[in-house]
Amino acid sequence: MESESILIAHPDGDAVERLSSAMTGWGYHATWVSTADDAIETCRVLKPSVILVHADLPEATRFLDSVRQMGLTMTVIVLSVLLDLERVMIKYQHLADDFAFESPSLISVKLSLSSALENKSGPIGDAGETESQAVDTERFIAVRQILEKMSLIVQKIALDAQGGITYFGETPYFISIHGCDLKVLSANASYLKYFGNKIGDHSWSIFCGKPSSPETCPVGRTAGTGRIMKTRAVVRYKSGIRIPVVVHTAPIFDNDGQMVLILEIMAGNKEIERIAQEIRNTQQQYQKLFNAVPCHVAVLDREYHLTAINRKFTEDFGDHTGEVFYDILRPGKFPVYRDPITHTMKTGLSQQGEVLLTAQNGTQYQMMSWTSPILSKTGKLVQVLVIFADVTELRRLQDNLSSLGLMLGSISHDLKGCLTGLDAGLYLIDKGFYRNKPGRVEEGLDVSKLMVDRIRRMVYDILYYAKERETEIRETSVLGFVTDVAEVIAPRLRSANIEFWCDFGTNLGTFHIDTAMMRSALINILENAMEACIEDKSERKHRIAFTAGKKTDKVVLIIKDNGIGVDQQQIKEIFTLFYSSKGRKGTGLGLFLTDKVIRKHDGSITVSSEPGKGTVFNVQLPIQQIK
């Protein structure tokens, strides 16, 4: 055996490792290649006696054609999985000398390999071969076919139960071998127990009804067609009891391709249905538990396809079974293939981690994910179970708490500044009275009023944020309202040396608003415009324009400044709670509340800006508020 060289051409390294280990135990040594080109080159150098080539090897046909053209004396055995064996035999019938299927025991491979190496001494029928050896060879071929076809039929019976091969042992099955003359030649213990000693009887003797004749019995049908067949029939036990069965029959051929035997395997139909029903009930119970989980649960195969999802996942992301997971939810926090799912795919170990996922509609979800490998009986990873818990709201609240801390720090800083200003104002008033200097008293009063106004606005902002209140909508004159707002802000703009230009059209009519809330919102925008101009250290003359007009069923209010401006990223965040473009100088409440007030009035606010050129706020309010 050791002098014979064997080449394995197989694309799956794990399968080859198992195959090589088994071959070593059988006393064989083999060389492995994983591509057609390597296989061709190895054949030229090694000139193997036997080639085991897997049907899934890329360009396997080209490799085998090349081998034939070399004119080498060798045996080609094509490997495949059991269910593909018939298809593979048709495809490679002119290129292969034999076929074998990969099973956990590798018995089919062992038999094919033994036959190939034993036949190296000469073909069957040589002068040196005895009649006994020829008979043994024929028996060997028949036994191998019986083993192969028993395995194939057993798998088919097991699949009828929808539970796979695991449940086959629970099903009562009867195995018998028949001659082409439709006589029972051999049977297993279960067959003899339930039907009695039928050796030598007709193959149809146990059947009732239509199959109880030579032409219609399962063995007779296979003898007439030469094909594997499945039949539903009724059989009679020796006790007289009749039961429905599923009958599988398969022909057995000799070395010359002549049918010599017929294999018959039967399984009780009611037992199969009972087991199938039990499996269905179990599956339904597991599905109920699967759907009852309040988290998103998904099962992925090795190619990242969704094979199962629970109800929560379907409700939030849709039914995408069969699609690639990362086409449905794109990772944002981790680069693709560096997330917990892929770690489990690579290592076969459970993982956990937080990931940012983006749905197809653009919505982002902050997810805690736990992964668990689903392994086969041999320990091979076949699927990954993933459980997602949506922590988006939790993270948002954490961010808000963090921002709230920053806001309190900012308010404390501002309040300290205001108190310092008040101290300075009181000092000026005190000294003015003491020294009889009215100018200092007036200056002290102005400083005190300014500080009190800042404290008032700060408190109002906090109250608006902290306490929700119903709007008090009244019909209000547009011109009267905007004029009132302009008069409130105008003195402060003059003191800051900022030109204030107002353009209020005629015939503006009325609209329905909460005047107090809307006044506060517009003053917030005007104050931001004022501070933007103050922050701009350029020498240009600063100017704020406030215009009001009417557009169909809306009132349009525009506030434009030529201050420092903001960039596009700041525009995206400008109405966000606790966000302030002024850093520690602002609370981050003003524009957030402005946006909130305008939306309460069924209106809209947009911003356009360019750093160094200024900012434009466009507010549109419905004349008649939507109910």
- Mode of pairing for the β-strands spanning 296-301 and 259-268: unpaired
Task: Give the pLDDT score at 377.
Answer: 64
- Determine phi and psi for 310, rounding to 5 degrees: -90, 180
| Residue 218 pLDDT | 95
* pLDDT tens for each residue of 328-354: 777 655 554 567 888 888 888 888 888
User: For the ranges 184-188, 196-200, 212-216, which has the lowest average pLDDT?
Assistant: 184-188
pLDDT of residue 463: 62
- From the list 96, 21, 110, 26, the residue with the least C-alpha distance to 54 is 96
- Counting every residue written for the chain, the total comes to 627
Closest CA to 165 of 174, 154, 149: 154
Q: Label residue 422 by pLDDT band (50, 70, 90).
A: confident
Q: If you average pLDDT over each of 236-245, 515-524, 576-585, which comes out highest?
A: 236-245
pLDDT for residue 374: 87
Q: Which residue has the higher pLDDT, 576 or 348?
A: 348
Residue type, 328: I
For residue 540, pLDDT beyond 80 = yes
pLDDT band at 280 (very low <50, low <70, confident <90, very high): low
Split at pLDDT 50, 70, 90, the class of 139 is very low
Whole-number mean pLDDT of the chain? 78
Is the pLDDT confidence value at 519 over 70? yes
Q: Residue 277: helix, strand or coil by DSSP?
A: helix
Q: What is the mean pLDDT of residues 92-108?
A: 76
Residue 532 pLDDT exceeds 50: yes
Per-residue pLDDT at 217? 95
- Token look-up 């320990």 returns 379
pLDDT at residue 124, rounded to an integer: 31
Lowest-pLDDT range, 284-293, 352-361, 397-406, 599-608? Answer: 397-406
Closest CA to 326 of 366, 348, 359: 359
Asked if residue 167 has pLDDT above 90, the reply is no
Residue-level pLDDT at 2: 45
CA distances from 401 to 238, 406, 408, 577 (A): 82, 9, 10, 11
For the chain, counts of helices (H) and of strands (E):
18, 24
The C-alpha atoms of residue 266 and residue 260 are separated, in whole angstroms, by 20
Distance CA 199, CA 217 (A): 17
Statement: residue 511 has pLDDT above 70: yes
Picking from 523, 521, 508, the residue whose alpha carbon sits closest to that of residue 471 is 521
pLDDT value of residue 161 = 43
Q: What is the pLDDT of residue 164?
A: 42
User: Residues 230, 232, 235, 241: what is their CA dihedral angle, to the nearest 10 degrees?
Assistant: 140
Mean pLDDT of 87-111: 76
* Weakest mean pLDDT among 59-63, 82-86, 212-216, 449-453: 82-86
Distance (Å, rounded) from C-alpha 502 to C-alpha 498?
13
User: Considering the entire predicted model, what is its pTM?
Assistant: 0.35
pLDDT(521) > 80: yes
Given this model, what pLDDT does residue 243 score? 85
DSSP 8-class letter at 574: T
Name the pLDDT band for 94 (thresholds 50, 70, 90).
confident
Are 345 and 381 in contact by the 8 Å Cβ rule? The answer is: yes
**Overall average pLDDT of the 50-72 stretch:** 86
Residue 269 has pLDDT above 70, yes or no: no
User: In this structure, what is the dihedral angle of CA atoms 268, 270, 271, 273, given to the nearest 10 degrees?
Assistant: 120
Percent of the chain with pLDDT over 90: 11
How many angstroms separate the CA atoms of 202 and 286, rounded? Answer: 47
Across 306-315, average pLDDT: 87
332 vs 110: which has the higher pLDDT:
110
**Contact partners, residue 437, CB within 8 Å, separation at least 6:** 431
DSSP string, 127-171: TT--HHHHHHHHHHHHHHHHHHHHHHHHHHHHHHTTS-GGGGGGS
Q: What number is the average pLDDT over the span 14-25?
A: 84
Residue 112 three-state SS:
helix
What per-residue string of b and e applies to 190-200 under the rule 16 or more CB within 10 Å gives b?
A: ebbebbeebee
Specify the pLDDT at position 65. Answer: 85
- The model's pLDDT over 202-238, given as tens digits with 9 standing for 90+, comes to 999 999 998 999 999 999 999 999 888 888 899 999 9
Tell me: the pLDDT tens digits for 353-388?
Answer: 888 877 777 778 888 888 999 887 667 788 899 998
Q: Which residue has the higher pLDDT, 282 or 140?
A: 282
Give the three-class secondary structure for 539. Answer: coil
Interaxial angle between packed helices 60-70 and 36-46, expressed in degrees from 0 to 180 and rounded to the nearest 10: 20
Task: Name which of 190, 205, 196 is nearest 266 in CA terms.
Answer: 190
Pairing of strands 351-358, 330-331: antiparallel
What pLDDT does 127 receive?
A: 36
Contacts 24+ apart (CB under 8 A), 531-535: 531/563, 531/582, 532/561, 532/563, 532/564, 532/565, 532/614, 532/615, 533/496, 533/498, 533/561, 533/562, 533/563, 534/496, 534/498, 534/563, 535/563, 535/564, 535/582
Tell me which range, 47-61, 185-199, 258-272, 457-471, is most confidently predicted by mean pLDDT. Answer: 47-61
**Does residue 262 contact residue 250 with C-beta atoms inside 8 Å?**
yes
Residue 578 CB: number of other CB atoms within 10 A? 19
- Would you call 303 exposed, middle or buried from its count of C-beta atoms within 10 A (0-12, 13-18, 19+)? exposed
Euclidean distance between CA atoms 548 and 485, whole angstroms: 12
What is the mean predicted confidence (pLDDT) over 105-120? 71
Across the range 466-480, mean pLDDT stands at 77
pLDDT for res 548: 92
For the CA atoms of the chain, what is the radius of gyration?
A: 43
Confidence at 1, pLDDT banded by 50, 70, 90: very low
Distance of alpha carbon 82 from alpha carbon 520, whole angstroms: 78
- pLDDT exceeds 50 at position 166: no
Task: Tell me what pLDDT residue 202 has.
Answer: 94
User: 520 versus 118: which is more confidently predicted?
Assistant: 520
Taken in order of first residue, the domains within the chain and their CATH numbers are: 6-121 (3.40.50.2300), 152-275 (3.30.450.20), 293-390 (3.30.450.20), 395-466 (1.10.287), 474-622 (3.30.565.10)
The residue behind tokens 């939507």 is: 626
pLDDT of 574 over the 90 cut: no
pLDDT of 171 strictly over 50 = no
